[in-house]
Structure formats: C-alpha cells, structure tokens
Structure 1
Amino acid sequence: MDSLINRVVAGPAPEGHRVTFARLGASESVELPELRAMAGNVAQGLRRLGVRPGDRIGILSANRLEWVLLDLAALRLKVVTAGLEPGKFDPRPELLERYGLSALFTDQPISREDGETHKGILPIEDVRALAQPSPGDAPLPDVSYDPGEATTLKFTSGSTGRPKGLAATAGSIDSSLRAVQGMFAHGPGDDIFVFLPLSLLQQRYWIYSALCFGHDVTVSTYEAAFAVMPSVRPTVVMGVPGFFETAMRHVRETGGEPRELFGDRVRYLWTGSAPARAEMLRFFNEAGVPIYEGYGLNETCIVTKNHPGASREGSVGRVVPGKHVVLDEDGVIHVRSDHPVARRYEYCAPGESEAIFLPDGTVRTGDVGHLDEDGFLFVHGRADDAIVLDNGRNVIVRPIEERMRAEPAIAECVVFCPDQTRLVAVVSPAGTGADEAAISARLAAVNAGLEPDERISRVIVADPPFSIGNGLLTSQYKPRRQRILDAYRHELSTRERGIHAR
C-alpha cells in the first residue's frame, strides 16, 4: 500500500490549498506547493548546518510556520524531530545531551553559559533564512520510509515528573491518517482548525492530511482560538472536551448560536483525549453542530472514533481499522496495533515501559470499559487518573491527592474537574468530625506549592465519610472514584458549596 508519509515527502503538493497561521491581530497563509518548496529549502539549510539522516533535531516553540517547515524538512532528510512543549522544557544545553539532539530550535530566550550561547541552540526565527533558496546546493537525495522507521520523538503530556518519550513510526502515522480519512473524507472545501501545540504529533497529522488529500488547514493557538474562528470560518474544529465545555458556557451565557462562535461553515467538531460529558455532547448535537468523541493514547494514537453514520451516545466509537481492542478479565482495555506507535518508551524510569507495553507490543491502557454488541467501546474510568483542562494541559491528580492526605484531619482525597477548568476535591474526614480549619489550612499549603493549573479551587467535605459500607471504598479501603463522583455530582457542579481556596 502506498505510504502517506512517503507521499508527504515526495509530493507533489495539491494545488489550490493552503495552510494559514492565525494569531490575534495577524495571519499568514502559504499555498501548499510553496510550503513544500520552502520545506525543501529548509532541508538544504539543515544539511548545511551539518544535520544528517538519522540525526535528531528539537523544536521548542509555540505554533508557527517555522515549526511546520522544520518538521517537513526533517521528514525530507530522514531526520527525527523531537517535539518539545513550551512550559515542560527549557532551552538548555543538557536538553541536547539528554535527547541526543544535533540542534534545538526555539522561540524562547536562549540561556547563556559563561556569556556564550550554546552552539546547538538556535532561534527558530533563523528558519526563515533557511527557507530561502541557496544557489549551489546539491539536490536532496530521494528518501522513503519503511513502516517501522521512526519519524519523530513524542512525549507524554503528564504534568509531573520527566515526560516519557516515544519514537513514533511511519506505519502508525499512515494507519491513523487512513482510518480518519475513511471516516471523515476530508478534502476540497475543508479547512481544519488546529490550536493545540504542534509538539503533540497528532496535531501535525492535519498538515500531512492536507498534503495528501488536498484541503486547507488553519493553525492557531489556544489563546487566539475563540477570537479568530469566526473570521477563519473552519469546517472542522479539533479540541479537547474542556475547550468545548468553555464554548458551551459562552453560547449559553450570551444567548448566541454555536456557529457564531465557530464560524458559519463548521460541519463537525472533533474531541477526545479526555472523557466528554454527555450534556456537552448533546448540547452541540442538538444545536445542529455534530461533535464526535474518540479514544486513544500517546502510546496507541487513535483507537476508536464516533463518526458520521456510526455514532452512539455514551461511547467513544467503534474500533478503527488497524487497531484491535481486547478486554482482560477485569475489563481493562488493551490495544494491539497492526503498526504500533512504538513497543517501548525511549526515555522513562525503570519499569515504566514494562508496565504499559506487553512483550508483543500490545498496550495496557489502564482504562476500564466494555464493547457493546455492535462494537462500540464504552470507557468507564481509569486507574491512574489524569485530567485534561480546557487549555489542553494534563494534570496528574494522584500526587495532589497524596499531598492533601498528608493532613491528619483528611483520611482520603479524590480530585475531580467538573467543568474542565477548576479542580475540586472531595475529602473524607478522619475521625468522627470534620476539622474544617485544618482542611482549609492544608488546602492553602498544598496550593502554594503547585502550578496554577494544578491548584484546587475548593474542597467538598464528604458526609458521611467514605466507607466500605456506603460503597465509596473498596474492600482494600481504596476510594471508588466513579462512585464518589456519582454521589457528589451535584455538589461538584455547584460552585458555592465547599471550602474555597483563599
């Protein structure tokens, strides 16, 4: 089967389509044939800098044209990109050493040691100069990718600890692109709106899709998304559930219509990466703007997706071609791929690869669910709990819960995010009565040591406390997260209730 990545590399780029970079107060559009030509020039420029096939380059920058040019140029040279999310990494020399980078391009201030800039760390603005033709360059050699060859190093998006790295294969990218195209048939007339960081490999898929299937793409940022969408008028909007929760609240508060927010051409909304609330999904579907939820992990890419003609409320869709879902005796979801993203982590703590990847490459997701009689997957929850905020940030709640439980007055703590913007904790008090002063003091102390996105906005004190008898603790005295959510759903959604952070 023809490789889509090889089609991206070899071209030709479709005529009459473009990629637009939309920021607050400014935008820049590049026709796809010009984009491909500029990427070829950047590849020549990287070669002049000494970058060779098999090397790695890092990109630590917000979304911009230079990001895309570097990524496409690296594909053209068989150079592996490392997409580094701003805020999780700093442009320091040890970053090059840690990940074996020949060069690091960044839009952040470059640290200096002994008054000199590290020679391998370059301003991403320099890519503009590399994108200009340079007479005398030898032609670039033809390249092609086998399915098992890695094209990029991508990182898990956890907010605590060092992110784990995965070397993603060309075959996994091809498989995902084909599955999505089979479901949604993106093509002429489409403009796919992307605002999450390009360091997330899945966001770059839409650039590859445009080059393969002939459609427009608009790349923006989270901060600019709502401001630019009405004028951009995309046909498809990609976002995490929290983003669409924010959109729903805005529409309700203003009394407007979703199409006033997303633009009058939108044909569907795409969501995933975290559980989506049924109320939010129903809101947009009933407003005539279909929203389709899917399921996947960094380690698997897309696994299931609702789509036109095959969508079931409450599910995350049917299993896509190339993926196979198996449930163990506890209902834990395992995913086997015809073309795995990877079979291990490139960078991780000892034992982390073995905890996720089985010897044959099957991924143990840690999520619990079931498949119905028609093959739709329903996800009920997960063991290691992560919350995706509406800005796309992942917050790992277990360390936060453990900090709260360090207070003797707190027996258990479970953190939720009812509106995808603020964290709310339900605590079970120790002893016979709740010491609200001690709980309030602990809340302030914990928040003081956390990043803004990680802070708990308020605490709900459980009454009665969690117990095996009331079903909120397991027989091993572990909190039953879903049952606690169900029991305190009203309190969680009522912002006035509870102990508020000072």
Structure 2
Amino acid sequence: MTGHSFLQHIVSTPPLGGRISVSRLDGTESLGLPELYERARRLARRLRARGIGPGDRIGILAANSLEWVLLDLAALLLKAETAGLEPGKFAPSAELMARYGITLLFTDQPTDAPGAVPIGEVRALAEDPEGPEEDTALPAVHWAPRDVTTIKFTSGSTGTPKGLGATVGSIDSSLAAVQEIFEHKPGDDLFVFLPLSLLQQRYWVYSALVHGHDVTISTYEAAFAALRRVKPTVVMGVPAFYETAKRQVEARLRRSGGTATVQEAARHLFGDRIRYLWTGSAPADAAMLRFFHDAGLPIYEGYGLNETCIVTKNHPGAHRAGSVGKVLRGKEVLVDADGTIRVRSDHPVNYRYAYAEPGASERMFAPDGTVRTGDLGHLDEDGFLFIRGRADDVIVLDNGKKIVVRPIEEHMRTSPAIAECVLFCPAQTDLVAVVSPAAVPADPDAIAAQLALTNAARTADERISRVVIADAPFSIDNGLLTSQYKPKRKQILATYHDAVHDSKEGIHAA
C-alpha cells in the first residue's frame, strides 16, 4: 500500500477475507470482514437518510462493541467525521453535542438529549435489509491527505481534554510504517482492548480491512478471560496490562510447584499463537520486558503522542533494550540542546488543536507542524530513541539541583509490591513518593525494602525521604489513571495532599 491511501482503499474496495470478533466475558461473536463491510454500507445508507453527509460529525460515547466499529466504518463511507468520546470522561448531553458540533450522538448511556441515539439501535439499522434506503447507492467519496476523519481527544492527566482533528495523511503514514516493519497478514489476529475512542486502536481494524487479517475487539475487563479463547497472534496493550499479566504468570508458576515452565505459564494466559506483543503509551519497566522476552513472547516498546501518531518502534529487525525504538519512516526526531524532543512528520496529524484553551496550539505546534513533545531524551549513535522523562516532571530543589523523576519512579516500580510510584517535592527540599500498592492489603515491608534499594542507588538529592501508601490502588474508576493507565499526577497530589505535606518521615498509609 506504499504510496496509496489506506483509508481511500477501505471506502472503495470491499475486503475479500478476514474476520472481526468481539469478545466479552460471556463469549465471543465473530463476523467475516466482507459481511462487516456490507453492514457498514447498509448503516451508512440509513445515516444518509437521516441527513448525515460529508463534513457532518457523528459522536460515539460507548464501550467497545461491534456497533462502535460499524459506526466508524459507516462514517468513512459517508466522508463524515467521528468524535470518539471516552466513557467516564464525557457525559451525553445537548451541551456536549453543541460544544463539539455533533449532529448525531450514539451512546450506551441514558440521556434525553435531542439527537442522541441509543447505540443498541445500530445493529438493527445495519442488519435489517428492508427499507427504501436499500435502493439508494452511496455516492463515491474521496479522502484527501489533509482531510480530517475524526476528532480525537487527549487522554492526559490534567484539565479539559484537548480535541485534535486527525488527518488522512497522518493515519495512512502510520499504518504504512507499521505494516513495513511487522507485516501483518492473513492468519494474524490482532487483539485490541483499549477504548476505540483512542484512534490508534481503530488502526488495527483499518489494517484488517486492507490486509485481510483478523482483528478481535474486547475491553480491559474482559481481556484476560478472552485471550485463551481467542488465541491472538498480536496483543496491543499498555505496560500496566502486561505488569498484571506478569503477576498472573508468576502466580501460576507458584501454584504449579515447579512443574510448569515460565513459557508454559505464559502460553496458558496468552494462548499458543503469539507472534509478538505491542506496548507503548507509558514507560515500560525493563524487568517486565525481559520477563516476556524470556518467556518466548517478544514484546516491543514504542513512542508516540496524540499529536504525532506513532514516532518510534522497536521491532524484530531493530530492537535495543531500554530504548523506545528507531524512528519510523515519515517521522524525524529532533533533540534540542536541553534534551527536549521535537517531532517533524511528512504528514502531520494537524497544525493546531480543534478544541483547546487559548495558546495551547501555539505551545505544542510550530508553524510547520513540528510538535514540541515536552519529553526529554536522546538518540544514540544507531538512531534508537531513549526517553528520560517529561520536562515538566523535572523537580528543581531549593539548592538548584534538577531531579528527573522518571528513573527513580521506575526503580521503585521494580518491586512486585508496587504498581505505581509518583514523586512530589512539596517544600523543594526532599522527595516524597505516593505509591499505589500492587495488591490489597499493601505490603509495607516489601515497599520499605524497595525504598532502601532505590535510595542506595541514588545521590543524596535524589533519595526519597517519605513514602505515602495509597489507601487503594490507582485506577481509572477512582480518577487517578488515564484511559491508557498513566498516573494523573495533579489528581494524585490533590487526593493525598495532606499526607504528602506531612513532615512525618518513613513509610505510612494515607
């Protein structure tokens, strides 16, 4: 597909093979991609009869489902935009629809907002062949590189989500670069469980429609139950998911009393067809990556932002431990003198936000579309990118010493007792850690042992003086993790403000 548009191929060429499956806790439903395409065309005709056409915007505020995929594909066939709205971050309302220019809002949540449609109605619209719309051909559409297909929203940790229009060229460029290094093909089954409101998760549906491989859609809650049934070849996950998987594999090894190997325990969880595991969106712990490589499940870390799409990726042909991979075709990484990373793209996602507070676009995007990432890192002599942390997560002590917190937090997370660690410096004199326990009840002795190991490896200014153990693990539900399972620093500080500012040294519960 190099030199051609994936999305234009999708709207003009029905797929010849492949399947899509939707896996829930109660089972898995499968459908051939040619039938999916026909249902999407039928849905598109029904939406067109309701007045949806080029430039109109469809909002989707619902959990992952077949209906989600059908709506997204129908929008592409109509040259309409989608707005992927993450449950928990948005609530269905007339105000929401007005704010984002949404003509129809499909949701699985109760609402009486005019123009809101229960997403459960989508299946009937897509499956029922009766109706005058069946005799109406869909007009041909053409997606140009600068056309926007969807408004995607930041999953970041602070403030109102920023909305960004994703261009066809940026999607095509990313899909082409990934296909070049991983060669997904018939026989592959890509397992997706993060919210489809995150555009990158929809990439793998687009890839299936073009390359004829299978794709399975699930949810985080159903993911582990589904893996053994589905037996995918590729799993798309964030580091927190693999940390949980690692603990499950280790627990199975303990229960086996030494009769099972780590390879057997890992295959019991993931199935016996894994070709590789994909991770990104947050820093991955080196011990976790080694664990899965040693278990015979190669796992490849990458790097990218909403504003850049995929920038770098480790892969079978180029992999370096500790890095987030080599720069992909169509991207250029620039490192400023202070270590801050900028990204230039042949096909930028966009040149500004569609929805953001004043000044946000100018802070993020240079006039030529180059993105100021705010991340710190360096490129080695072979072109592998290493990330040190966020520029705004550098703590400056009262003595002028600058502390990059990410390496310290990562060292703390090497303990099986610690799921997350976030550092603060309330008085600019010493570091305080808020720790999310890996299990309830927490294990203070194991946390104390890890604190001693971490402090022994640091300079005096980098040592942690106090640890606050969160009363419950950070989660999406309690608002302390993003949808990609990254800690929300400001919310964590607000939740544990008094404990962080307490002068009591040592380790104590919040």
Select which of 136, 139, 143 maps to 2:137: 139
1:499 aligns with 2:508: yes
Counterpart for residue 14 of structure 1: 16
Counterpart for residue 371 of structure 2: 363
Paired residues for 1:100-499 under 5 Å: 100-110=101-111, 117-131=112-126, 132-137=128-133, 138-255=136-253, 257-385=265-393, 405=426, 413=432, 415=434, 451=479, 453=481, 498-499=507-508
CA–CA distance in structure 2, aligned partners of residues 266 and 331 of structure 1: 37
Q: 1:272–1:417: structure 2 CA closer, same or farther, 3 Å change rule?
A: farther
Q: 1:463–1:278: structure 2 CA closer, same or farther, 3 Å change rule?
A: farther
Q: How far apart are residue 104 of structure 1 and its match?
A: 0.4
Q: 1:102–1:280: structure 2 CA closer, same or farther, 3 Å change rule?
A: same
8 Å contact from structure 1 (residues 42, 127) kept in 2: yes
Q: Which runs of 5+ in 1 are unaligned?
A: 111-116, 390-394, 427-433, 466-496
CA–CA distance in structure 1, aligned partners of residues 421 and 37 of structure 2: 39
Q: How far apart are residue 51 of structure 1 and its match?
A: 1.3
Q: 1:179–1:500: structure 2 CA closer, same or farther, 3 Å change rule?
A: same
Q: 1:145–1:298: structure 2 CA closer, same or farther, 3 Å change rule?
A: same
Amino acid at match of 2:125: L
Counterpart for residue 458 of structure 2: none
CA–CA distance in structure 2, aligned partners of residues 278 and 463 of structure 1: 33
- Deviation per residue, 1:306-350 (Å, 9 max, x gap): 001210001100000000001111111100000011111111111
8 Å contact from structure 2 (residues 434, 500) kept in 1: no
Q: How far apart are residue 195 of structure 1 and its match?
A: 0.3
Q: Does the residue aligned with 1:252 lie in a helix, a strand or coil?
A: helix
Q: Does the residue aligned with 1:144 lie in a helix, a strand or coil?
A: coil
Which has the higher mean CA deviation after the structures are superposed, 211-220 or 153-162? 153-162
Q: Does the residue aligned with 1:217 lie in a helix, a strand or coil?
A: strand
8 Å contact from structure 1 (residues 91, 108) kept in 2: yes
Q: Does the residue aligned with 2:392 lie in a helix, a strand or coil?
A: coil
Q: Does the residue aligned with 1:238 lie in a helix, a strand or coil?
A: strand
Q: TM-score, structure 2 length as denominator? A: 0.79
Amino acid at match of 1:141: P
8 Å contact from structure 1 (residues 53, 79) kept in 2: yes
Q: How far apart are residue 119 of structure 1 and its match?
A: 2.4
CA–CA distance in structure 2, aligned partners of residues 419 and 241 of structure 1: 14
Q: 1:372–1:26: structure 2 CA closer, same or farther, 3 Å change rule?
A: same
Q: 1:3–1:409: structure 2 CA closer, same or farther, 3 Å change rule?
A: closer
Q: 1:130–1:216: structure 2 CA closer, same or farther, 3 Å change rule?
A: same
CA–CA distance in structure 2, aligned partners of residues 127 and 58 of structure 1: 13
Q: Does the residue aligned with 1:384 lie in a helix, a strand or coil?
A: helix
8 Å contact from structure 2 (residues 432, 500) kept in 1: no
Q: How far apart are residue 460 of structure 1 and its match?
A: 8.6
Q: RMSD in angstroms over aligned alpha carbons? A: 3.4
Q: Which runs of 5+ in 2 are unaligned?
A: 254-261, 394-405, 414-419, 452-463, 482-490
Counterpart for residue 489 of structure 1: none
CA–CA distance in structure 1, aligned partners of residues 146 and 322 of structure 2: 35
Counterpart for residue 483 of structure 1: none
CA–CA distance in structure 1, aligned partners of residues 101 and 422 of structure 2: 31
Q: Does the residue aligned with 2:248 lie in a helix, a strand or coil?
A: helix
Counterpart for residue 28 of structure 1: 29
Amino acid at match of 2:114: K
Which has the higher mean CA deviation after the structures are superposed, 59-68 or 5-14? 5-14
8 Å contact from structure 1 (residues 366, 382) kept in 2: yes
Counterpart for residue 62 of structure 2: 61
8 Å contact from structure 1 (residues 41, 134) kept in 2: no
Counterpart for residue 472 of structure 1: none
Q: 1:75–1:351: structure 2 CA closer, same or farther, 3 Å change rule?
A: same
Percentage identity across aligned positions? 58
Q: How far apart are residue 373 of structure 1 and its match?
A: 1.0
8 Å contact from structure 1 (residues 21, 64) kept in 2: yes
- Deviation per residue, 1:263-317 (Å, 9 max, x gap): 1111110000011111000011111110000000000010000001210001100
CA–CA distance in structure 1, aligned partners of residues 299 and 465 of structure 2: 44
CA–CA distance in structure 1, aligned partners of residues 163 and 113 of structure 2: 24
8 Å contact from structure 2 (residues 57, 81) kept in 1: yes
Amino acid at match of 1:283: F
Q: Does the residue aligned with 2:354 lie in a helix, a strand or coil?
A: coil
Amino acid at match of 1:119: P
Q: How far apart are residue 2 of structure 1 and its match?
A: 1.7
Q: 1:359–1:396: structure 2 CA closer, same or farther, 3 Å change rule?
A: farther
- Deviation per residue, 1:463-499 (Å, 9 max, x gap): 999xxxxxxxxxxxxxxxxxxxxxxxxxxxxxxx711
Q: How far apart are residue 159 of structure 1 and its match?
A: 3.7
- Deviation per residue, 1:97-127 (Å, 9 max, x gap): 00000010000111xxxxxx23211100111
The number of aligned residues is 438
CA–CA distance in structure 1, aligned partners of residues 66 and 325 of structure 2: 33
CA–CA distance in structure 2, aligned partners of residues 160 and 272 of structure 1: 20
Q: 1:312–1:463: structure 2 CA closer, same or farther, 3 Å change rule?
A: farther
Q: 1:417–1:320: structure 2 CA closer, same or farther, 3 Å change rule?
A: farther
CA–CA distance in structure 1, aligned partners of residues 68 and 142 of structure 2: 22
8 Å contact from structure 2 (residues 432, 465) kept in 1: no
- Deviation per residue, 1:425-461 (Å, 9 max, x gap): 99xxxxxxx999xx98x988xx9xx746555899799
- Deviation per residue, 1:126-184 (Å, 9 max, x gap): 11122133443321111111101000000000243210000000010000000110010
Counterpart for residue 82 of structure 1: 83
8 Å contact from structure 2 (residues 311, 328) kept in 1: yes
8 Å contact from structure 2 (residues 421, 436) kept in 1: no
